[in-house]
Amino acid sequence: MSAVLLMCIFPLVLGVVSLCVGRMSVPVQDVLASLKSAVIGQQGNVKNYAIVINLRLPRILEAIVVGAGLACAGATFQSLFFNPLATPDVLGVTSGTCVGAILAIILSRSILETQLIALVFGLASVWLTLHVAGKNENRSLVFLVLAGTIMSSLFNAIGSLLKYTADPQDKLPAITYWLMGSFTGATYRKLLIGCPLILCGSLVIWLFRWRLNILSLSEDEAKASGIHLARTRLVFILAATVITAASVSMCGQVGWVGLLVPHCARMMVGSDNRNVVPLSLSLGAGFMILIDTLARSASVIELPISVLTAIVGAPVFISLLNRSRSAFR
């Protein structure tokens, strides 16, 4: 019980700290006052309110949801594919979503339209992957991963082609920045499109997390546990890909979280997904807040998210690997 409380408090505290930090630092009591006035619905200090509630809060909420969602999706795919190195992108969702976004930017659509088109492309790419992999009953996991790799490289090629034809004066930079990932443009309206999907996906995974343990055994053992194998897998695949597509369409590519965070969780509590999933949600949210705070306050210019996650993630991951080689047979 206290562990659950701790897991909830960790990202919240980080979130409040992050609300204070930035180009203009706001004292904690002013942040709390702004939050309070936002909840009650009355305006307090106008400048603080603008910074905390209108600028920083949506970013931080987005970071929390995206970080938690991607970490949870990563943990899911790792158990599902018996592979500790699986990431949320295995089934080609990310590249599909990116193609949608590139297309929308080339067609000069608004930010919200870009997000929606990217989301639709992401979900369509998973549908395609599942279709390529074959019928429900005899869809083997190897085929699924192969199909994911194929779709992923196909979409990457289409993405490159689109970039090649894009106007290098304004479209190409816009596309490049979008692909590198950022929470800069976070608004409550963007959150309203992406968050419900990520929350639903995470809730499904959280509710069914015991079954992830069963799925990580061999196929025969999973069947001999009395579960409907194909159906259970499909539930997890859909939940995890919806999360990924919604995240990428909201803030661009965010690497590393889906791989790094579940591993940290496993090193802390073992492999039982009853603990790994909740802890991944919490650590993912915390990690993302940290990265976003760095992104907007470490330098004069805003740094891209995917660059930071890799720069911070790689050394952390290497040191974790060195410390516990036994976790990887």
Q: Site residues (CB under 8 A) for other proteins?
A: 79, 82-84, 207-210, 213-214, 216-218, 220-221, 223-228, 266, 270-272, 274, 326-327, 329
Work out whether the CA dihedral 233, 236, 238, 241 comes out positive or negative. Answer: negative
Least Å distance, CB 236 to other proteins, is 14
* Nearest alpha-carbon partner for 288 in 24, 65, 22: 65
Alpha-carbon distance 74 to 67, whole Å?
A: 11
Q: Which is nearer to other proteins, 104 or 215 (CB)?
A: 215
Q: Which is nearer to other proteins, 23 or 329 (CB)?
A: 329
Residue 178 Cβ vs other proteins, minimum distance, rounded to whole Å = 35
Q: Do residues 100 and 173 make contact, with C-beta atoms less than 8 angstroms apart? A: no
Q: Estimate to the nearest angstrom the gap between the alpha carbon of 282 and the chain centroid.
A: 13
DSSP 3-state percent helix, strand, coil across the chain (nearest 5)? 75, 0, 25
Q: How far is the CB of 10 from other proteins (least distance, A)?
A: 23
CB of 280 to other proteins, least distance (A): 14
Looking up tokens 């650590």, which residue turns up?
A: 283
CB of 148 to other proteins, least distance (A): 18
Distant-in-sequence, close-in-space partners of 4: CB < 8 Å, separation ≥ 6: 278
Smaller CB separation from other proteins, 82 or 188: 82
326 Cβ partners below 8 Å, 6+ apart? Answer: none
CB of 7 to other proteins, least distance (A): 17
**Integer CA distances (angstroms), 273 to 69, 75, 83, in order:** 15, 8, 14
Q: Which is nearer to other proteins, 135 or 329 (CB)?
A: 329
Q: Which is nearer to other proteins, 172 or 227 (CB)?
A: 227
- Nearer Cβ to other proteins (22/84): 84
For residue 240, the minimal CB distance to other proteins (Å) is: 17
Of 177 and 206, CB closest to other proteins: 206
Distance, C-alpha 210 to centroid of its chain: 22
Determine which helix (DSSP H) or strand (DSSP E) holds 301, and give its type and residue range: none
Identity of the amino acid at 248:
V
